[in-house]
Amino acid sequence: MVSDKPIFTLVRGGDVYTPDHIGVKDILVVGKQIVSIDNEIELPDGLGVSVIDASGKQVFPGLIDPHVHVLGGGGEGGPATRTPEIKLSDITSAGITTVVGVLGTDNVSRSVDALYAKTRGLCLEGITAYMFTGSFHYPASTITGSIKKDVAFLRDVVGAKTAISDHRDSHITLDEFARFSSETRFGGMLGSKKGIVHVHMGDGEQGLKPIYDLLERGNIPINQFYPTHVSRNPMLLEQGIEFVKQGGAIDLNPESSVETTLEVVSKLIEGGVDLSRVTFSSDGNGSHCVFNEAGELTGLGVSSVSIIIETLRGIIESGLLPITDALRFFTCNPADILGLEGKGRIAVGFDADLLVLESDLSLDKVLAKGRLMVEKGKVLVKGTFE
């Protein structure tokens, strides 16, 4: 368990991206928060300050992964195909300091109660974790018996998840989808949260149409919806580009090759979308399923959260976007879309989630809530049973 005792940490002389580039700065951390950012910070002797030398290196905000199967996923091929729970070291070694947990297709052998326990456990082990209530299926799986209560009363629940346009989903009606979305939205209002409706997108020909059908009713704003896996096929990506132009937000998954991901980012740029409404998530520890035309499972793999930092490096190294814009996909964008206070930026009053990177963008150090979790690329803090 992480101690709450205040500790002075000085990250000295790094080239800082907040994600805006502010140049070489010192960052003073007290306990879990950033309390000062300045050209040079001098502290009196006797404070027991831990100094991290970041000179010649870059300092980024900790990365946010907004869609992770922290309990594991899978199960489409039977009990032996359930993917494993994620480990703390898997997360921090990938430069991720905040995750948002989800359930997948299996809400039978896995539950939102267990997801909530895993979320709390990750927080106690040293990172920040949130979750979506619900799963692929309708009626929604909940903790309190109500989507509205889950979102309103449980501090780590940022919204609710469902699925559309997928042969594995519940094929909810428009009325059911409306009730699901309204409950989520109102729970957010009661809990002073965004109350985001996180929608798994499958390969079905409908694509985003069910969301558009609901929007035509005119009662729920487009920014309440946050569809994910929107880059999974060309048709869906085109729909996603239009969705962002109309004021929505979309979540993409990095492709198997950096080149393919860069093609996706290029299409976003060419489409003239507001890139602040776009995020990337790993789908970490979820299953990569391959089905034939008969709907039979023919292949299965496991996603890794490490794809997030690999994608960030790829975008930066390509020169397609400047560092500041590339970083936003993985930091302030998900924080703003989901309403994660104190996250996604290097700023006074924000949590001290910091990455120190070498000139080649390899990971040197990771601080999560002010605690040094990774040093010289090696994990210092492991999960309880690692």
Query: Catalytic amino acids?
Result: 283
Residue 75 is encoded by which pair of tokens? 């199960």
* Cβ-contact 62, 23 below 8 angstroms: no
Closest alpha carbon to 200 in 218, 180, 186, 216: 180
> What SS3 string covers the chain?
CCCCCCCEEEEEEEEEECCCEEEEEEEEEECCEEEEEECCCCCCCCCCCEEEECCCCEEEECEEEEEECCCCCECCCCHHHECCCCCHHHHHCCCEEEEEECCCCCCCCCCHHHHHHHHHHHHHHCCEEEEEEECCCCCCCCCCCCHHHHHHHCCCEEEEEEEECCCCCCCCCHHHHHHHHHHHHHHHHHCCCCCEEEEEECCCCCCCHHHHHHHCCCCCCHHHEEEECCCCCHHHHHHHHHHHHCCCCEEECCCCCHHHHHHHHHHHHHCCCCHHHEEECCCECCEEEEECCCCCEEEEEECCCCHHHHHHHHHHHHCCCCHHHHHHCCCHHHHHHHCCCCCCCCCCCCECCEEEECCCCCEEEEEECCEEEEECCEECCCCCCC
Q: State whether the Cα torsion 132-136-142-145 is positive or negative.
A: positive
Please say whether the dihedral angle defined by the alpha carbons of residues 27, 30, 33 and 35, taken in this order, is positive or negative: negative
Compute CA 252 distance to the chain's CA centroid, rounded to the nearest angstrom: 11
Residue type, 219: N
